[in-house]
A and B are shown apart, each in its own frame.
Chain A
Amino acid sequence: MEKVLTQETLKSDFIDKIARESDQNVYLCYQCRKCAAGCPVTYETDYTPFQIIQGVIYGQRELVLNSKMIWLCTTCETCTTRCPQEIDIARVMDAARIIAQRERIKAKYPVVPAFFQTSLQNISWFGRLYEVGLIMMLKLRTKDFTKDVGLGIKMFLNRKLKLTPKPTALREVRRIFKKIKEIEETS
């Protein structure tokens, strides 16, 4: 007799992890591909959002975490908005990025997680995003010192970039970051 693929047969550690991080039931996907049709970065990607969802269903950890898609994603929320099954696909993408960063998977576009981590470090130091600091820190991390220098100077001359940070609520912000790290390490 023909076998049927059920949630039981497809069960994997990976889908459990994604479900835990995203609170989403990806098994609801009925393969209409509206998420892929609306995604603004499909022109550049390897796998579409639809294929990422399918990858999760079939426990394809490597495919998902090594994809270009999870880093190209601009978090525009179009996939989430249009999914007829109301899967919050953008949260599934978040979950994949969170797991990839936590497990130190080498990203297809390393500059993207570098940007995330630099930004968060910046926020934890100053309480607010200090843009000049962020740009400098990102340059140190990516070793790309020439990118956007002209634009940065123009923006500075137009008063759009402030040279000095405005530190706010530093003790409280550091406490929040520390506490969250503790909670995440124990769970």
Chain B
Amino acid sequence: MRYAYYPGCSLHSTAFEYDLSMRAVLEKLGIEYEELRGWICCGTSPAHCSSKLLGVTLPIKNLAIAEEDGFRQMIVPCASCFSRLKIALHETSENPELREKVEQVLNYAYQGSVEVRHPLDILYNEVGLERIRESVREDLSRMKVVCYYGCLLTRPPKAVNFDQCEYPMTMDNLLKGCGIDVLDWSYKTDCCGAGQALALTNIVVKLSRDILVNAKQVGAEAVAVACPLCHSNLDARQSEIEQTYKLSLNLPIFYFSQLIALAMGVDKNKIGLQGHLVNPFPLLNKIKSPSSPARPSRG
């Protein structure tokens, strides 16, 4: 099976570390993939909030390219792209009139032969925990992590059909399989404010604070995410959150793929960790050397 790979706009810019680490993991596991030729933006929230037709046409255009190139499955790491592609498929299958309009715009009748898959789903359901466990090379057992799924991986369930919508476990199980100490918590699928980051930043700061505070309360030292927007809200806005609410958080935010890559022994300098605004290296050094006394973190 050769997968089409749809990075989406974020993985080529603000989430370049998600792209680097995702590719590293796929390569370690010998999963064959190819970046979708000539892919375009899925339209994200601005499209579906402004035009129903545009909001489904842009995702279907990308699936049409994959179909023309003979792919049967497409890997979509960005949770927002994943959701838009899945919702577009759901809406066009429920609404023949809408589908007809999309075909009219694209001059192409999408046959539905390409399945949209999130990499968490592929790693868990195709590769399987056993093979993940076998490929672990580094001991990350001293790292306490909570898994944050955000909104769009699991909602709405009738369109995305991914894990339990209120308390998913796929990422938890994968990271446990990598030997990481994964903790239970209450904010797995709560909203971080998502696309309001550039418009109503105060909403994002408040919602992301709630998430980070709960992570801290259960004893997490880091948060694992699967969405570029979640990452930028929790990582890049973290110092603004600390200043606004007079808090000290200092919680590194990792893409789940970075943690899996680390566990598999990928060089930590090759998965974009330098790009994070909350420096993850002190934590990585701390968990690595059990002999030396752990230094208290800043603040």
Contacts and interface: CB of A to CB of B under 8 A. Distances in A.
A120 B47 contact: yes
Contacts of B207: 40, 74
B9 A129 contact: yes
Contacts of A44: 203, 206
B31 to A, nearest CB: 25
Given A97-B49, A129-B9, A78 B191 contact: yes
Interface string B31-62: 00000001111011111111111110110010
A145 interface: no
Given A76-B194, A112-B199, A183-B101, A127 B40 contact: yes
A170 to B, nearest CB: 10
A119 B206 CA distance: 24
Nearest to B152: A77
B227 to A, nearest CB: 12
A72 B151 contact: no
Given A98-B51, A151-B240, A155-B277, A116 B39 contact: no
Contacts of B44: 119, 129
Interface range, B side: 35 or more
A147 B237 CA distance: 13
Given A74-B196, A77-B155, A160-B14, A117 B50 contact: yes
Contacts of A162: 12-13
A161 B13 CA distance: 6
A166 B11 CA distance: 13
Contact of A179 (B95, B105, B191): B105
Interface range, A side: 35 or more
Nearest to B50: A116
- Specify the main secondary structure of chain A where it touches its partner: helix
Interface in B153-181: 155-158, 165
Given A111-B200, A119-B44, A168-B38, A78 B155 contact: yes
B280 interface: no
B50 A98 contact: yes
B52 A115 contact: no
A88 to B, nearest CB: 7
B72 interface: no
B45 to A, nearest CB: 5
B50 A40 contact: no
B16 interface: yes
Contacts of B155: 76-78, 80-81
Interface string B91-107: 10011000001001110
- Specify the main secondary structure of chain B where it touches its partner: helix
A23 interface: yes
A134 to B, nearest CB: 8
A16 interface: no
A168 B236 contact: no
A126 to B, nearest CB: 8
Contacts of A169: 38, 40
A127 to B, nearest CB: 5
B101 to A, nearest CB: 6
Contacts of B195: 74-75, 115
B178 to A, nearest CB: 25
Contacts of A76: 151-152, 155, 191, 194
Interface of A: 21, 23, 40-41, 43-44, 71-72, 74-78, 80-81, 86, 88, 90, 94-95, 97-98, 101, 109, 111-117, 119-120, 123, 127-129, 131, 134-135, 138, 147-148, 151, 154-155, 158-162, 166, 168-169, 172-173, 176-177, 179-180, 183-184
Given A76-B191, A155-B277, 18 more contacts: A40-B193, A77-B83, A77-B151, A77-B152, A77-B156, A78-B155, A94-B55, A115-B198, A116-B45, A116-B50, A123-B46, A135-B198, A147-B201, A158-B274, A161-B14, A168-B40, A172-B61, A173-B40
Nearest 7 pairs between A and B by C-beta? A119-B46, A76-B191, A77-B155, A129-B9, A76-B151, A116-B46, A115-B199
Interface of B: 9-10, 12-16, 38-41, 43-55, 57-58, 61, 83, 91, 94-95, 101, 104-106, 151-152, 155-158, 165, 190-191, 193-196, 198-201, 203, 206-207, 232, 236-237, 240, 272, 274-277
10 contacts: A97-B50, A109-B199, A115-B46, A119-B46, A120-B54, A129-B10, A148-B201, A158-B275, A158-B277, A160-B13
